[in-house]
Chain A
Amino acid sequence: MLKQIEGSHAVAEAVAKCRPNVISAYPITPQTHIVEELASIVGKGELDAEYVNVESEFSAASVVLGASAAGARAYSATTSQGLLLMSEVVYCIAGMRLPIVFTVANRAISAPLSIWNDQQDSMALRDAGWIQLHAEDNQEATDLHIQAFKIAEETHLPVMVCMDGFILTHAFEPVDVPDQKEVDSFLPPFQPTNIVDPRWPRGIGLFADPRFYMETRYILHRAMEKSEATIKKVSGDFAKAFGRDSGGFIKTYKLKDADVVVISMGSLVGTIKDLIDQLEEEGKKVGLLQICSYRPFPRKEIYNSLKDKMNIVVVEKSISLGRGGILASDVRWSFPRAEKKDRNISSFIAGLGGRNITKNDLRYMVEKVEKEPVELEFLGLKKELISKKDL
Chain B
Amino acid sequence: MTISAEELNRIEKKDLFTSGHRACGGCGQALAARLVQDASGENTIACVATGCLEVFSSPYPDPSWRIPFLHSLFENASAVASGVEAAYKALKKGPVNIIAQGGDGSTADIGFQSISGMFERGHNVLYVCYDNEAYMNTGVQRSSFTPLGARTSTTPMGNKTRKKNLPLIAADHGIPYVATATVDDFRDLQRKVKTALSIEGPKYIHILAPCPLGWGHHGELTVKICRLAKDTGLFPIYEIIDGKMTNVRKIPAKVPVEEYLKLQGRFSHLFKKGGSKETIAEIQKIANQNIERYNL
Interface residues of A (CB under 8 A from B): 21-22, 24, 48-50, 52-56, 58-59, 62-72, 74, 88-89, 92, 96, 196-198, 200-209, 212
Residues of B near A201 (CB, < 8 A) are 65-68
Residues of A near B81 (CB, < 8 A) are 66
B43 and A54 contact, CB distance less than 8 A: no
Select which of A55, A196, A198 is within 8 A of B113 by beta carbon. A55
Residues of A near B88 (CB, < 8 A) are 70
CB distance from A179 to the nearest CB of B (A): 22
Pick from B115-123, B149-157, B214-222 the stretch touching chain A: B115-123
Q: How far is the CA of A207 from the CA of B68 in the complex (A)?
A: 15
Residues of A near B1 (CB, < 8 A) are none
A205 and B87 contact, CB distance less than 8 A: no
B75 interfacial by beta-carbon distance below 8 Å: yes
A66 and B83 contact, CB distance less than 8 A: yes
CB distance from B197 to the nearest CB of A (A): 13
Select which of B58, B85, B117 is within 8 A of A203 by beta carbon. B58
Q: How far is the CA of A49 from the CA of B88 in the complex (A)?
A: 11
User: B81 — nearest CB in chain A belongs to which residue?
Assistant: A66
Residues of A near B61 (CB, < 8 A) are 206, 212
Q: How far is the CA of A50 from the CA of B65 in the complex (A)?
A: 29
Select which of B43, B63, B83, B89 is within 8 A of A24 by beta carbon. B83
B90 and A63 contact, CB distance less than 8 A: no
User: A20 — nearest CB in chain B belongs to which residue?
Assistant: B90
User: B76 — nearest CB in chain A belongs to which residue?
Assistant: A62
B79 and A59 contact, CB distance less than 8 A: yes
Q: How far is the CA of A64 from the CA of B68 in the complex (A)?
A: 18
Select which of A66, A88, A92, A203 is within 8 A of B82 by beta carbon. A66
A-B contact sample (20 more), CB < 8 A, given A50-B86, A198-B96, A200-B68? A48-B90, A52-B86, A52-B121, A54-B79, A55-B116, A59-B76, A59-B113, A62-B79, A62-B82, A66-B84, A67-B84, A70-B45, A70-B83, A70-B87, A89-B72, A198-B68, A203-B58, A203-B65, A207-B58, A207-B60
B83 and A206 contact, CB distance less than 8 A: no
20 pairs from A and B in contact (CB 8 Å cutoff): A22-B86, A24-B86, A52-B82, A54-B82, A55-B114, A58-B79, A62-B73, A65-B76, A65-B80, A65-B83, A66-B80, A68-B87, A69-B83, A70-B70, A89-B76, A198-B68, A203-B65, A205-B54, A205-B71, A208-B60
B65 and A62 contact, CB distance less than 8 A: no
Beyond A55-B113, A55-B120, A59-B76, whether A206 also contacts B84 by CB under 8 A is no
Beyond A55-B113, A196-B45, A207-B58, whether A62 also contacts B80 by CB under 8 A is yes
A50 and B90 contact, CB distance less than 8 A: yes
Q: A-facing mask of B224-265, CB < 8 A → 1, else 0?
A: 000000000000000000000000000000000000000000
Residues of B near A50 (CB, < 8 A) are 86-87, 89-90
B91 interfacial by beta-carbon distance below 8 Å: yes
Q: How far is the CA of A208 from the CA of B66 in the complex (A)?
A: 18
Residues of A near B58 (CB, < 8 A) are 203, 205-207
Task: Please report whether the interface of chain B is mostly helix, strand, loop or mixed according to DSSP.
Answer: mixed
Beyond A201-B66, A201-B67, A201-B68, whether A67 also contacts B113 by CB under 8 A is no
Residues of B near A59 (CB, < 8 A) are 76, 79, 82, 113-114, 117
Beyond A52-B121, A70-B88, A72-B90, whether A209 also contacts B59 by CB under 8 A is yes
A22 and B47 contact, CB distance less than 8 A: no
A62 and B113 contact, CB distance less than 8 A: no
CB distance from A219 to the nearest CB of B (A): 13
Beyond A21-B91, A62-B114, whether A196 also contacts B83 by CB under 8 A is no
Q: A-facing mask of B19-60, CB < 8 A → 1, else 0?
A: 000000000000000000000001111011000001100111
B69 and A72 contact, CB distance less than 8 A: no
Beyond A22-B83, A66-B70, A206-B60, whether A72 also contacts B91 by CB under 8 A is yes
B42 and A198 contact, CB distance less than 8 A: yes
Q: How far is the CA of A64 from the CA of B72 in the complex (A)?
A: 12
Beyond A70-B87, A71-B91, whether A92 also contacts B72 by CB under 8 A is yes
Residues of B near A22 (CB, < 8 A) are 83, 86-87, 90
Q: How far is the CA of A54 from the CA of B78 in the complex (A)?
A: 11
Q: How far is the CA of A208 from the CA of B117 in the complex (A)?
A: 30
B45 and A74 contact, CB distance less than 8 A: no
Residues of B near A88 (CB, < 8 A) are 73
Residues of A near B96 (CB, < 8 A) are 198
Beyond A92-B73, A203-B68, A204-B71, whether A66 also contacts B63 by CB under 8 A is no
Residues of B near A197 (CB, < 8 A) are 45, 68
Residues of B near A54 (CB, < 8 A) are 79, 82, 117, 121
Q: How far is the CA of A66 from the CA of B49 in the complex (A)?
A: 12
Residues of B near A74 (CB, < 8 A) are 83, 87
Q: How far is the CA of A342 from the CA of B48 in the complex (A)?
A: 56
Q: How far is the CA of A52 from the CA of B123 in the complex (A)?
A: 10
Q: How far is the CA of A88 from the CA of B50 in the complex (A)?
A: 13
Residues of A near B90 (CB, < 8 A) are 21-22, 48-50, 67, 72
Q: How far is the CA of A89 from the CA of B72 in the complex (A)?
A: 8
Residues of B near A56 (CB, < 8 A) are 113-114, 117
Q: A-facing mask of B87-114, CB < 8 A → 1, else 0?
A: 1111101001000000000000000011
Most A CB within 10 A of own CB, among B66, B72, B73, B120: B72
Most A CB within 10 A of own CB, among B48, B87, B88, B96: B87
Residues of A near B113 (CB, < 8 A) are 55-56, 58-59
Q: How far is the CA of A49 from the CA of B91 in the complex (A)?
A: 8
Most B CB within 10 A of own CB, among A54, A62, A202, A208: A62
CB distance from B190 to the nearest CB of A (A): 19
User: A91 — nearest CB in chain B belongs to which residue?
Assistant: B73
B117 and A69 contact, CB distance less than 8 A: no
User: A64 — nearest CB in chain B belongs to which residue?
Assistant: B83
